[in-house]
Amino acid sequence: MPLYYQLQAKIKRLVEEGHFAHGDRLPSERQIAEMVMVNRLTVRQALMALVNEGVLTRKRGLGTFVAPPKLEHGLTKLTSFTEDMHKRGLKPSTRVLSLSVQSVEKKVNLLLGLGAHEDIIVIERLRLADDKPMAFEVAHLPCRRFPGFLDLRVDLAYASLYDTLRLHYGIEFARASETLEARVASVREAELLGIQVGLRF
Amino acid sequence: MPLYYQLQAKIKRLVEEGHFAHGDRLPSERQIAEMVMVNRLTVRQALMALVNEGVLTRKRGLGTFVAPPKLEHGLTKLTSFTEDMHKRGLKPSTRVLSLSVQSVEKKVNLLLGLGAHEDIIVIERLRLADDKPMAFEVAHLPCRRFPGFLDLRVDLAYASLYDTLRLHYGIEFARASETLEARVASVREAELLGIQVGLRF
DNA sequence: GAGTGGTCTAGACCACTAC
DNA sequence: TAGTGGTCTAGACCACTCG
pLDDT at A168 over 70: yes
Mean pLDDT of B31-39: 92
pLDDT of residue B76 exceeding 50, the answer is no
User: Would you place residue A25 in the very low, low, confident or very high pLDDT band (cuts 50, 70, 90)?
Assistant: very high
Mean pLDDT of A128-134: 72
Say if residue B47's pLDDT is above 90: yes
Whether the pLDDT of residue A77 is over 50: the answer is no
Return the amino acid letter for A125: R
Query: Which residue type, as a one-letter code, is found at position A73?
Result: H
Which residues of A are less than 8 Å from B49 in CB distance? none
Distance B98 CA to C17 C1' (A): 65
CA distances from residue A194 to A127, A131, B158, B165 in whole angstroms, order as listed: 12, 12, 46, 46
Q: Which of B78, B79, B51, B56 is CA-nearest to residue B67?
A: B56
Bridge partners (DSSP) listed for residue A142? A120
* pLDDT band for position B8 (cuts 50, 70, 90): very high
Residue B65 makes CB contacts below 8 A (sequence gap 6+) with B23, B24, B25, B26, B56, B57, B58, B59
pLDDT of B127 > 50? The answer is: yes
Q: Cα–Cα distance between B190 and B200 in angstroms, integer? A: 13
Instruction: Tell me which of A107 and B199 has the higher pLDDT.
Output: A107
Distance from CA of B70 to the nearest CA of A (A): 9
Check CB contact under 8 Å for A183 and B182. Answer: yes
- Tell me whether residues A180 and B201 touch, CB distance under 8 A: no
- Angstrom distance, A49 CA to D8 C1': 20
- Picking from B4, B40, B88, B199 by the largest number of A CB atoms within 10 A of its own CB, the best residue to mutate is B199
For residues A44 and A153, which has the higher predicted lDDT (pLDDT)? A44
How far does the CA of residue B181 sit from the closest CA of chain A (Å)?
8
Asked if A22 contacts A86 with a C-beta cutoff of 8 angstroms, the reply is no
- Confidence (pLDDT) at A26: 93
Please check whether residue A194 is in contact with residue A133, taking contact to mean a CB–CB distance below 8 angstroms: yes
CB of B1 lies under 7 Å from some atom of strand C? no
User: What average pLDDT does this structure show over A66-84?
Assistant: 59
Helix (H) or strand (E) holding B123: strand B120-129
How far apart CA B134 and CA B72 sit, in angstroms, is 12
Specify the length of chain B in residues: 201
Cβ of A30 less than 7 A from strand D: yes
Which residues have a Cβ under 8 Å from the Cβ of A147 and sit 6 or more positions away?
none
DSSP-derived letter for residue B101 is E
pLDDT tops 80 at residue B106 = no
Query: Can you spell out the DSSP letters for A116-134?
Result: TT--EEEEEEEEEETTEEE
Contacts 24+ apart (CB under 8 A), B102-106: B105/B140
Nearest nucleotide relative to B27: CA against C1': C4
Question: Average model confidence (pLDDT) for chain A?
Answer: 74
Cβ atoms A65, A27 nearer than 8 A: no
